[in-house]
Every structure is written in C-alpha cells, then in structure tokens.
C-alpha cells in the first residue's frame, strides 16, 4: 500500500469498511503500518499518525506535529521493541525512538491558546482546563484537543499576577474563582465555561480583608471555604459568614518574600497547611496556627496529602519532606533527597497516582517515587515530557497525570508496575597497563581464563547494558572477587579502574540495576595475575631448598666445628695427661729417690730430672703452639718445623739442609688445628727417628707446595732399615696413622746401609 490511494485491502476477499485518503486535511500517502500490543495502528507517511479503530470518529486519528522529524520527514518503517517503544526509520536521517511513557504531547497546534501552561484545574463535572498565557485563559480539553475559553475581566484588572498551579477553581456550588494581580475574582455558577466570556465577576481586594491584592494560589477545603494564598500571607473566605480571615507567617528580618504563600493543602483531619516562600509550613487547625520548620530548607513550593494521610512537603533546596503523623502536636519529618535517588533537591510540584506513587517535578525532570520500596524512576523529555522544565503537575479524576511547562503539556495514564528485568551489562572495553585488549563490537558477557604477566596490574574495564526503556536510568554495581565480595554502591559510571593488584586469581562481576531496584545477571571477567619470578612456586621451592641446604650445611659446619673443638679438647687433655702428667710423675719419683741416695750418686739422677724437665717444657711449648689460633698459617708451621729440626739434627756433626717455599706463598694458606698438629707431629716423628736411629751425617728436609698440595720429604744417608720387617717400631706406625688422618699419601724408601727417605703428600 502506498501512493495517494490511502489505505486499501490487498486481498479481494476482504471487505473495505472505510477508505481514509487524508487526515486533518493532509493527504495520506502511506509508506508503512504497524499494529502494536495495545491495539493501536501506527501509520507512516510524510508524518506519523496513530489510528485507534475503536475510538470515536473524531478521536481515531492523531497526527504528531510536535517535532519536525515526526511531521515533515518521510517515515519508511515502524517497529516496537521489547520495552514497548516505537522505532521509526526517518527518510535518510536515521532511526528515532518514540517512548510509550507519557507521550501525549499538546501544544498550540492542539488548540492551546499559549504553550506557557501556568496550571490545570477541573470543573465539578470533570472537564479539564489548562490555564495558559498571560491572561490565564481557560483552555477546555475536548478529548483530543483544547478549546480556549477566555473569561471576562472587570474594569481595571489587566495583570493576573505571578502565581502558578491552582490559579482557577470551580467550587462545589458551581461558582468560579480566579487569582489575579488585583485580587480574587468570583464568577457566578455555571458549568459552561463559555458563559465566563460575558459575565462580570465580583472582585475581592484588600478592602474586603485580603492581606494583599496579589493572589498566588486558590484552594477549596472540605467545608467549602475558599483559601487565597497571597504575596504576604493567606486569607480564608468563610462560606457561612462571607468574610475573610487572615493568616501570616512569622516575619524573619532581612528575608525576602517570607510571607508569600506557594502551596495550600488539607490533611485528612481537616487541618489546612500553608507553604511559604521560606523554610516554613503553617498548620491551621480549629482556627489555631502552628509553625513547622524542622527538616525544611529554601521555599516550600508544594504540599500534597496522599491516600494514607501523610503530608508531603516539596522544598526548593532540601527535596521532599514527609510528615507521617500530621495530627501530632510535634510532627516527625523524614526526607527524600538526591542521596535517596531523587534527580534534584529542587521541587516545584507533586501529585499521587492511583497506585500510591508520588510524582515529583524538580529541576531535572520528574521523579516517580514508590514510598513502599523507595524506588525512584526518572522521566525526561525522552519519555515524552514537554520541552523545558516541567514545573506543574496535576492528576485528573480519570487518573491521568498531566505535566505542564512553559513550552507545552503532556498527558500520561499510569499503569501498575510490572516486574522489571534489568538488562545484563556487557563488557565493552578492557585496557591493561594502558594497552587495549580486543573485544567484540557488542561486548562480551563473559571473559574467562585470562592470564596477565607479572607487572600488568593496572586494569580499566568498561561496561554498558543494552536497554530500550527511554529515559530510564540504569545504575551499576560491581565487585572484584579475590579482593572483596562486597558489591559497590549503585552508580551511573560505566568504567571502573583497578591499580596495583597483587598476584592471584580474580573474578570481576558487573550487574545493572533498574530504577525500581531489580538487578540483572552479572557479566564476568575472570583473570589471573601471575606473580613475579621471585614469587612463583618453583622459584620459592628452589629458595626453600637452598635455604634448607644452607641451614643443613651450617648445621654440618657447626657440628664439625664442635667435633673438632671436642677433639682438640680431648687431645689436649690426653697430651697433658700423657706427656706432662707422666713426665711430672717421673720427675717426682726421681727426686724422691735422689733424696735418699748419697750426694755423689744423686747427681746423675738430678741430671736426668733436668733433662726430663727440659723435655716436658718443649712438649708443653708444642701443646701451647698447637692450640694458639695465631699460628694457623702454613708459614707458622714451617717456622715451627725449622725451630724443631735444626737444634735436634745439627748436633754431633750432622749437616742439615732445610728448604721450603717463600714465606709470602706459605702465608696465604690457613690450616685447621688438626691438620697443623698432625703435620707437626709427623715431622717431629720423622726427624726424631733420624736423630735417634739413622746414625746419619747428612739430612735433607724439603717442603714443596703446588696447587695447595704440600709434599714433605725427610731424607738421610744413615744406615737404613727394612720397612717390611716387623722391627720398624712404633714410630713408623704413628706416621702412617697421622698420614691417614690427614687423608694423605705416605711413602718410606729405605734399605739397610743406604739411608732412608720418608715422603708425605697432603692436600691443604
């Protein structure tokens, strides 16, 4: 279907009920149609048209003229998403979305006398009127459009004042009351607003008992009395007496507009509440006024009594205050502010829908608060609100909520809340140490088994949820398992950054939260941050093994040291006992024997005692030298050998040749006490044997050092002996034993009559 033929049937078996060639005088060249879940038919042409088949003929078609995109551009295709929003393909400009939320917009094209809407009211028969323009013209709603119904002003009334909201009312008797800048206008009873064009009203002014002539608000209480809020206090017109009674707020010195009344309401107990252009509310009950200030800030711009009897107070700086016990002598006040989900702390007006939800018009759109849960939903122009700041709200008797601004009017029929499902967010970006990782265009709902090398511990994660609810504010919560299992507070941000993470396994989870508190399934990112080399298991294992080996080696060294020390002590004790003890005992015995002999015979014994004492002195010197830690160098040992050998061997005409490496070379090598002792005693044994038994005239002693291996050779030209014979004595056995203790190699080369050579090789 298309062209200028309008709507027609393609199937010849169908019967044509009606053929629409034009709408509102404009030709209807249909390009596409769409039937939505609500039973409405949307028609795409060079404009957007909604068709309701079951509506009255005058209300079947509605042309959307509020936007150039919807009226003036060709719409080629239509569809609705899962959220009930209508999507349009507009010419070559792209796609547009029309929200199913408060979407019936009205402007001067719909008959309004002005797009500046000051307030709304209903007649006693249920007719709705929009109060528009500088003259506060009544615009009567006819079901699909408005019809201006201007009222006749008395002579001299040219300024209608600066009030907003309830500026016009029809009381229970049918009379009409208008607020103006010159006082209160009272028109005779009529249910036909057209009669107001020709009727001259009665004007109440200061002379009749009003505080001032500038009227800002009008209100009818449950007794039928009329309240007028002025720029300086309020006045109540008694239907019984026909007189006005004034009420003034306490004056604060230096405050501006302290007494101006911005709101009037009545609670379920019959008390009337007045809100002033100051942080002050007056409650009037049985003619007595009480002032309430706690919890208020700025101006009191709105008052509302809900279905349960609570009184809601809208302020210009502190959000909304709620009085749960309005009849109490000292009412308790609790508040809703931006901290509890409101878009703004500035409140202009409030209404309650049939489901008990509170609509709050503020500085950033309209919030819908569900008192039972505290959930807040936000409405903006994306949801179909009129352009500009929505400052006036009104609920009519049919349950429609009206949104008014200085640029138009919108109507919305609330529906009960449906269980909401928050859309699952998707991971849209991952940056590690400033380097982006490649993800799919639409993002990922799950990323797993990601390994990051050591040092890549700075992560930035971007996320976003795809959803179609126009104007609905999604918030997000995240947590990083492995660091914390607590969800973050809900927030609007779509990026989170982690810096300086420690090595380990982590699981990042992000979920979305709708305005009524429903949460989605989380999107996840699992990753492992590898530890640095020195923290990896194999390195730690090697470290532990090395430490264990070092500890074991230290223990072995300490144990060897203790054993060596114990051997030194034992050897020292043995030497002292065997050498010194036996020698001293011998000296003592010989001395006693010498005392009993004649003096001539005692001389030989005393000479023997003297020799024995000198021998003990030499033995003691060896013991002391052996345990002296200052004698640990090989050079000290060689010096000791020279001091021992030369005096012993050079007597009796023997020649001795003693050769050894230079002193500096020997000084670089340290010896253990055991090694030093064994070498010295081995050397003394060899030289003593030469002195006692060899009967030699020439002795050569040579010490050679190469690669820390010491070779000792003691050679003489004496009578020699047969090493294999059993008469070699204890000396040879002692030298073999000491060579074995030093893990050295020991050789004896000797023959009878041909001298002896004793060799020892030992690694130092």
pLDDT tens-digit map of 17-52: 778 888 877 888 888 999 887 788 999 888 888 888
pLDDT at 23: 85
324: nearest Cα among 268, 278, 374: 268
Q: Distance (Å, rounded) from C-alpha 387 to C-alpha 407?
A: 6
pLDDT at 1: 38
Question: pLDDT-derived band of residue 4, with 50, 70 and 90 as boundaries?
Answer: very low
Q: Distance (Å, rounded) from C-alpha 332 to C-alpha 72?
A: 55
22-100 and 151-248 have identical folds: yes
**Is the distance from CB of 70 to CB of 62 less than 8 angstroms?**
no
pLDDT at 582: 59
The number of angstroms, rounded, from the C-alpha of 556 to the middle of its chain's C-alpha atoms is 53
Give the angle subtended at the CA of 536 by the CAs of 533 and 539, to the nearest 5°: 80
Residue ranges of alpha helices (H) inside 314-358 are none
Range scoring the smallest mean pLDDT among 140-144, 226-230, 598-602: 598-602
Q: What percent of the chain has pLDDT over 90?
A: 44
Q: Which one is predicted more confidently, 638 or 620?
A: 638
Looking at the DSSP bridge assignments, the partners of residue 405 are 408
Q: Output the pTM of the full model.
A: 0.59
Is the CATH number 2.60.40.10 carried by domain 425-531? yes
508: nearest Cα among 541, 485, 530: 485
Contacts of residue 177, Cβ cutoff 8 Å, sequence gap at least 6: 168, 169, 170, 171, 184, 185, 186, 187, 218, 220, 226
| Correct CATH for 631-764 of 3.40.50.620, 3.30.565.10, 3.40.30.10, 3.30.365.10 | 3.30.565.10
**Is the distance from CB of 321 to CB of 333 less than 8 angstroms?**
yes
Query: Which region, left, alpha or beta, applies to residue 157 given φ > 0 means left and ψ of -120 to 50 means alpha?
Result: beta
Looking at the predicted structure, is the pLDDT value of residue 5 above 60? Answer: no
Q: Distance (Å, rounded) from C-alpha 627 to C-alpha 636?
A: 13
Instruction: Record the tokens describing residue 168, joined without a space.
Output: 């016009």
Class of domain 22-100: mainly beta
Q: Distance (Å, rounded) from C-alpha 382 to C-alpha 157?
A: 40
- 359-385 pLDDT, tens digit per residue, is 999 988 999 999 988 888 888 887 778
Measured from the Cβ of residue 744, the count of other Cβ atoms closer than 10 Å reads: 22
Is the CATH number 2.40.10 carried by domain 151-248? yes
Question: pLDDT-derived band of residue 569, with 50, 70 and 90 as boundaries?
Answer: low
Q: Which one is predicted more confidently, 139 or 100?
A: 139
Question: pLDDT-derived band of residue 2, with 50, 70 and 90 as boundaries?
Answer: very low
Give the angle subtended at the CA of 306 by the CAs of 301 and 309, to the nearest 5°: 115
Where exactly are the structural domains of the chain? 22-100, 151-248, 425-531, 536-627, 631-764
Give me the chain's average pLDDT, please.
85
Q: What percent of the chain has pLDDT over 70?
A: 86
**Is the distance from CB of 302 to CB of 318 less than 8 angstroms?**
no
Instruction: Record the tokens describing residue 657, joined without a space.
Output: 């040749």
171: nearest Cα among 234, 121, 130, 215: 121
pLDDT at 574: 65
Looking at the predicted structure, is the pLDDT value of residue 727 above 60? Answer: no
Rg of the chain over Cα atoms, rounded to whole angstroms, equals 58
Question: pLDDT-derived band of residue 245, with 50, 70 and 90 as boundaries?
Answer: very high
SS3 68: coil
Most confident listed range (14-18, 497-501, 641-645): 497-501
SS3 591: helix
């Amino acid at each position: 279907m298309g062209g200028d033929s309008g709507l027609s049937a393609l199937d010849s078996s169908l019967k044509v009920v009606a053929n629409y060639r034009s709408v509102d005088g404009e030709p209807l060249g249909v390009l596409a149609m769409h039937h939505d879940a609500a039973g409405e038919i949307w028609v795409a042409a060079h404009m957007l048209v909604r068709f309701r088949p079951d509506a009255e003929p005058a209300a079947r078609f509605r042309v959307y003229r509020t936007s150039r995109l919807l009226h003036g551009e060709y719409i080629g295709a239509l569809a609705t998403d899962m959220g009930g929003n209508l999507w349009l393909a507009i010419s070559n400009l792209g796609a547009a979305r029309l929200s199913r939320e408060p979407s019936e917009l009205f402007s001067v094209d719909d008959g309004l006398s002005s797009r500046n809407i000051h307030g709304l009211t209903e007649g006693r028969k249920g007719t709705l009127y929009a109060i528009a323009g500088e003259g506060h013209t009544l615009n009567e709603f006819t079901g699909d459009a408005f019809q201006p119904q201007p009222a006749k002003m008395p002579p001299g009334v040219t300024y209608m004042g600066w009030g907003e909201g309830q500026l016009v009312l029809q009381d229970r008797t049918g009379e009409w009351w208008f607020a103006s800048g010159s006082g209160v206008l009272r028109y005779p009873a009529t249910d036909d607003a057209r009669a107001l064009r020709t009727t001259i009203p009665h004007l109440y002014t200061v002379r009749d008992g009003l505080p001032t002539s500038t009227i800002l608000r009008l209100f009818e209480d449950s007794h039928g009395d009329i309240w007028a809020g002025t720029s300086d206090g309020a006045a109540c017109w008694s239907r019984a007496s026909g007189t006005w009674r004034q009420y003034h707020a306490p004056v604060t010195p230096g405050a501006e507009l302290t007494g101006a009344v911005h709101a009037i309401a009545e609670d379920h107990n019959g008390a009337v509440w007045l809100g002033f252009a100051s942080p002050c509310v007056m409650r009037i009950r049985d003619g007595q006024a009480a002032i309430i200030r706690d919890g208020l800030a700025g101006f009191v711009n709105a008052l509302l009594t809900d279905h349960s009897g609570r009184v809601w107070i809208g302020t210009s700086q502190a959000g909304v205050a709620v009085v749960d016990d309005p009849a109490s002598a000292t009412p308790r006040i609790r508040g809703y502010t931006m901290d509890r989900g409101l878009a703004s702390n500035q409140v202009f007006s409030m209404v309650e829908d049939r489901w008990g939800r509170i609509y709050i018009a503020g500085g950033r759109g309209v919030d819908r608060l569900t008192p039972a849960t505290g959930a807040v939903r936000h409405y903006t122009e994306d949801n179909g609100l009129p352009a500009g700041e929505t400052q006036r709200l009104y609920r009519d008797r049919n349950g429609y909520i009206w949104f008014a601004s200085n640029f138009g009017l919108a109507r919305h029929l609330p529906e009960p809340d449906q269980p909401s499902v928050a859309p699952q967010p998707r991971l849209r970006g991952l940056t590690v140490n400033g380097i982006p990782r490649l993800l799919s265009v639409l993002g990922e709902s799950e990323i797993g088994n990601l390994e990051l090398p050591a040092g890549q511990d700075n992560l930035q994660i971007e996320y976003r949820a795809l959803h179609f609810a126009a104007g609905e504010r999604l918030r997000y919560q995240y947590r990083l398992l492995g660091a914390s299992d607590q969800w973050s507070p809900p927030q609007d941000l779509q990026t989170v950054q982690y810096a300086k993470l420690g090595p380990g396994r982590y699981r990042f989870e992000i979920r979305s939260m709708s305005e009524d508190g429903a949460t989605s399934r989380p999107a996840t990112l699992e990753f492992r941050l590898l530890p640095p080399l020195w923290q990896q298991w194999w390195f730690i294992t090697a470290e532990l093994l090395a430490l264990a080996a070092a500890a074991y080696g230290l223990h072995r060294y300490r144990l060897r040291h203790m054993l060596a020390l114990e051997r030194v002590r034992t050897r020292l004790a043995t030497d002292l006992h065997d050498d010194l003890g036996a020698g001293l005992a011998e000296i003592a015995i010989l001395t006693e024997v010498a005392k009993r002999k004649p003096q001539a015979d005692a001389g030989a014994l005393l000479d023997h005692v003297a020799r024995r004492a000198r021998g003990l002195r030499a033995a003691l010197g060896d013991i002391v030298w052996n345990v002296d830690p200052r004698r640990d160098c090989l050079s000290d040992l060689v010096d000791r050998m020279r001091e021992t050998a030369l005096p012993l061997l050079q007597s009796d005409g023997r020649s001795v040749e003693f050769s050894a490496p230079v002193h500096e070379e020997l000084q670089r090598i340290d010896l253990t006490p055991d090694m030093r002792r064994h070498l010295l005693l081995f050397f003394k044994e060899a030289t003593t044997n030469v002195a006692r038994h060899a009967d030699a005239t020439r002795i050569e002693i040579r010490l050679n050092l190469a690669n820390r291996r010491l070779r000792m050779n003691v050679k003489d030209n004496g009578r020699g002996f047969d090493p294999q014979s059993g008469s070699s004595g204890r000396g040879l056995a002692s030298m073999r034993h000491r060579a074995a203790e030093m893990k050295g190699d020991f050789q004896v080369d000797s023959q009878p009559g041909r001298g002896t050579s004793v060799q020892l090789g030992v690694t130092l």
